[in-house]
Amino acid sequence: MQKIRAFSVFELVLVMIIIGIILSIIVINFKNDELLRAANQVATHIKYTQYLALIDDKFNPEDKNWFKGRWQIYFIKTVDSKSVLHYAIFSDSGGYSGSPDGYEVAKNPLNPTKVLTVAHAGISTIKPTDELDLMSKFNIKDIELLGGCSHYNSTRISFDTLGRPYKGNPKSSTNSTQNLITSICQIRLTHKNKECIYINITPITGLITIGNPQKQCQVN
């Protein structure tokens, strides 16, 4: 009779350890991939905001506050006292309220039936782009504007018709060149596993680059 060889306890434990190591590597790579995908999406949408500003000159000689209506990307952390993390791309042209109204929000270039905001941004009459919810889609727990785009805890970047980036809320500006970004702007995305990645925006040109993920974020 042919003997049937069974696994020993040691061999079973060894297999389980190997499987655990493989799964941990997969999870780590998946998290890093989430961080990179989130950074690539945000960088692409910042560039799209700049493009909208380039093709839509807001100058109006009959309105001294015309510059407050520039195209901007607004990273939103709270809605109705609830913690969220999403963003909207809009042109604040309806009375310069500082908030994205339905008709002010940019259409999604990949799907014009949707707009570049999310459902819980207080706009219920339009179809949102769910991918803009960084917390739900990519497990991003925080986004911070540092360096040249840091401005009184503001989480906005706007662009003029020359493509130049500005910091802060355009609503609060008193002239057309106030808050022009003059040094490297850094946008830090932090994953729930505490890894982070930086998106860099060059002043004047608005050139965008993405750094490598960091396992330990530098806290300013």
pLDDT digits (tens, 9 = 90+) for 117-138: 986 555 656 788 999 999 999 9
pLDDT digits (tens, 9 = 90+) for 53-62: 999 999 999 9
For the segment 170-192, the average pLDDT, to the nearest whole number, is 95
Q: What is the CA radius of gyration of the chain?
A: 22
* Cβ-proximal residues to 91 (8 Å cutoff; 6+ apart), any chain: 52, 56, 58, 69, 70, 71, 72, 104, 106
Distance of CA 122 to the CA centre of its chain: 19
Evaluate if pTM is beyond 0.75: yes
Of 24-28, 149-153, 213-217, least confident by mean pLDDT is: 24-28
* Cβ-proximal residues to 141 (8 Å cutoff; 6+ apart), any chain: 85, 135, 190, 191, 192
